[in-house]
Amino acid sequence: MRRLLMAFTGVFSLAAFSLPATAFAGSGSYASQDHPACEENAITCTELSQPINAYTGHDEPSVLFYSGHAGSGNSNLYKLTLPTDPPTKPLQSGKGGTFNFQLHPAFWFGMAMCDNQSAPNPGGSSLGANVPCTPDSDANIFNSSSAASPHYIGLHPGSAFMEMQFYPPGWAPWPAATSCDATKWCAALNIDSLSENMNTGGQLNPTCAAVTGLEYVNFAFITKNGASQAPANPVDSTLATFTPDRAKDLFMNSGDTLAVGMHDTANGFQVDIHDVTSGATGSMTASAANGFGEVQYAPSPSTSCTNIPTDFHPMYSTSSTQTRVPWAAHSYNVAFF
């Protein structure tokens, strides 16, 4: 989802949708891996390690929601029906049916989040110090194009983008494929951040970026009891973080009607899913207790790779053309992809 500052682009691709890097390493041994890392262009990394010519982008068609009512930018309730697949199975010849996993690896609901270690100005710059993010507040709106302004967009508080993703069945098993199950849907809470100072051009050191990626992702499946099955942050994540568990995770049927609630709590942003059809429920809170965290911004010559346990909170009170994740697509806060 990475973007140039103040640039407007769409965002989406099969190889670069916002799933976590398959860099399963602990904070004490991040340099030792026995799995595909971001520097090897693992399919689940958000961006290619070796872009073509310059930046290699991708498209993500989306619908944005705008409202000036207080709380509209951080508390949403959706009712939806999970898509169904055709009765005719796909054929290699292309003459069969087309399943959802072939059309899109996921669909998701989005919202801007605070991340003080993320772009555009982590660590500060000659333009000014890093401005701490105030959760659930439009005081975080910094949209001036003038570098002399105290609300210059380059001094915007550190931002991330939450993607509440739903994964269609059919191409399993995860994480080698993109489905949790051959016939069941699953879902996960993702939070994407960018470890880059867009005023200085500095980036997270290559040693750490090889593990987490520059656009790092916190990831946790929606579970039946609301507890993550393994650390969500990209420094301490393990194989269990990305391996679906039928005993713990919420699985859903095609055609089920869902009520999806997303809101802030004292312990972090929370998602609640009620499968109205089956009666099953699941939830996840983006909390330090569930292993969520910011990757400490440490450019070269540092080689450190440190997780900062974090309760992630929504960034804004409202949702409008002024509420932005400045390193991502223009004016994104509340969105559907």
Which pLDDT score is estimated for 175? 82
Full domain range(s) for residue 276: 1-337
Q: Are 264 and 88 in contact (CB under 8 A)?
A: no
Q: Which run of H or E residues covers position 308?
A: strand 307-309
**Tens of pLDDT along 149-164?**
999 999 999 999 999 9
Which pLDDT score is estimated for 267? 97
Q: At residue 170, what is the residue type?
A: G
Instruction: Report angle CA 191, 152, 142 to the nearest 5 degrees.
Output: 45
Is residue 335 over pLDDT 80? yes
Q: At residue 297, what is the residue type?
A: Y
**pLDDT band at residue 19 using 50, 70 and 90 as cut-offs:** very low
Which pLDDT score is estimated for 42? 53
Average pLDDT of the segment spanning 249-253? 98
Q: Which run of H or E residues covers position 114?
A: strand 107-114
Six-digit token string for 19: 């799933």
Q: Which of 16-30, 205-219, 254-268, 313-327 has the lowest mean pLDDT?
A: 16-30
**Tens of pLDDT along 195-222?**
999 999 999 999 999 999 999 999 999 9
Average pLDDT of the segment spanning 319-327? 93
Distance between CA 259 and CA 185 in Å, rounded?
15
Q: Are 112 and 311 in contact (CB under 8 A)?
A: no
Which pLDDT score is estimated for 328? 85
Distance between CA 22 and CA 239 in Å, rounded?
8
Which pLDDT score is estimated for 173? 87
Instruction: Report the phi/psi class of residue 279: left, alpha or beta, with left for phi > 0 and alpha for psi in -120 to 50.
Output: left
Q: Give the chain's domain count.
A: 1
Q: Are 251 and 186 in contact (CB under 8 A)?
A: yes
**pLDDT band at residue 40 using 50, 70 and 90 as cut-offs:** low
- The share of the chain scoring above pLDDT 70, in percent, equals 82
